[in-house]
């Protein structure tokens, strides 16, 4: 994707520790002229890393997830190939249509493995969530104490730039059997 030699952009790096599953998110400073970023204070270990750039036209360009091993005192270089992505926007409500806050969203790949995003908790004052994705298959696992969990399949392989999903979580106390 050609950003131009003089184009410098901010990038978000999401690192998931392969051993503990912990997620570290680092906002990279503006890129250097060659499109390079320097991440600091990353603990040595094995990580799955995703790079995401929000381009000036609003399109999200995520990279493929890449494995990397960080060793103490040794610089580690990785190249990321960015491709046009898809923004997924979720609105969450309960069975009565009331907004749901504090739900947990976990992004899993087509094989059910957690991605480098880890678990996102909706703690905002509203009931929406949005994130950029590469064009492929995912499942969103959504949980909130007191509600039945939901799995939302996403086939983004040929999606438009923005995909909306309306998710309804049902209270554990609601009887779903028909009379």
Same domain, 109 and 61: no
**Partners of residue 61 on adjacent β-strands:** 53
Q: Is 47 exposed, middle or buried (0-12, 13-18, 19+ CB in 10 A)?
A: buried
Contact (CB, 8 A) for 104 and 121: yes
Bridging pattern class, strands 137-143 and 162-169: unpaired
Please say if the pLDDT value at position 3 is more than 70. Answer: no
DSSP-derived secondary structure letter, 63: B
Average pLDDT of every residue of the chain? 77
In the predicted model, what is the mean pLDDT of residues 106-135?
Answer: 73
Please say if the pLDDT value at position 111 is more than 90. Answer: no
In the predicted model, what is the mean pLDDT of residues 164-177?
Answer: 76
Could you tell me the pLDDT band of residue 4, with boundaries at 50, 70 and 90? very low
pLDDT at 100: 83
Domain contains 76 = no
pLDDT tens track for 41-85: 888 999 988 887 766 555 566 777 788 999 998 888 888 777 777
pLDDT at 133: 77
Same domain, 159 and 92: yes
Which structural domain, as residue segments, surrounds residue 100? Answer: 86-169
pLDDT at 98: 85
Same domain, 125 and 92: yes
What CATH number corresponds to the domain at position 139? 2.60.40.1120
Cα Dmax for the chain: 66
Say whether pTM exceeds 0.95.
no
DSSP-derived secondary structure letter, 9: -
Same domain, 165 and 93: yes
SS3 content of the chain, % helix, strand, coil (to 5): 0, 50, 50
Contact (CB, 8 A) for 63 and 82: yes
Domain contains 95 = yes
Give CA torsion, residues 25, 35, 10, 117, to 10 deg: -30
DSSP-derived secondary structure letter, 147: B
What's the token pair of residue 88? 């997924």
**Residue 48 to residues 35, 52, 75, 179, Cα–Cα distance (Å):** 21, 13, 17, 49
Q: Is 104 exposed, middle or buried (0-12, 13-18, 19+ CB in 10 A)?
A: middle
Domain boundary among 21, 38, 70: 70
pLDDT at 136: 82
176 or 143, which is more confident: 143
Same domain, 107 and 143: yes
pLDDT at 6: 43
pLDDT tens track for 134-164: 788 889 898 889 999 999 998 888 877 778 7
């Amino acid at each position: 994707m050609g950003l131009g030699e003089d184009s410098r952009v901010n990038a978000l790096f999401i690192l998931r520790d392969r051993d503990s599953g912990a997620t570290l998110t680092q906002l990279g400073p503006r890129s250097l002229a060659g499109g390079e970023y320097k991440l600091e204070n990353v603990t040595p270990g094995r990580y799955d890393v995703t790079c995401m750039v929000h381009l000036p036209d609003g399109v999200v360009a995520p990279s493929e997830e890449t494995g990397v091993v960080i060793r103490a005192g040794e610089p580690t270089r990785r190249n990321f190939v960015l491709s046009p992505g898809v923004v997924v926007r979720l609105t969450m409500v309960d069975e009565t249509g009331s907004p749901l806050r504090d739900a947990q969203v976990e992004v899993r790949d087509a094989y059910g493995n957690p991605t480098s995003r880890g678990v996102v908790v909706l703690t905002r004052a509203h009931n929406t969530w949005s994130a950029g994705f590469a064009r492929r298959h995912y499942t969103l696992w959504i949980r909130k104490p007191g509600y039945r969990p939901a799995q939302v399949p996403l086939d983004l392989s040929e999606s438009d730039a923005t995909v909306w999903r309306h998710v309804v979580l049902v209270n554990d106390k609601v009887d779903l059997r028909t009379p």
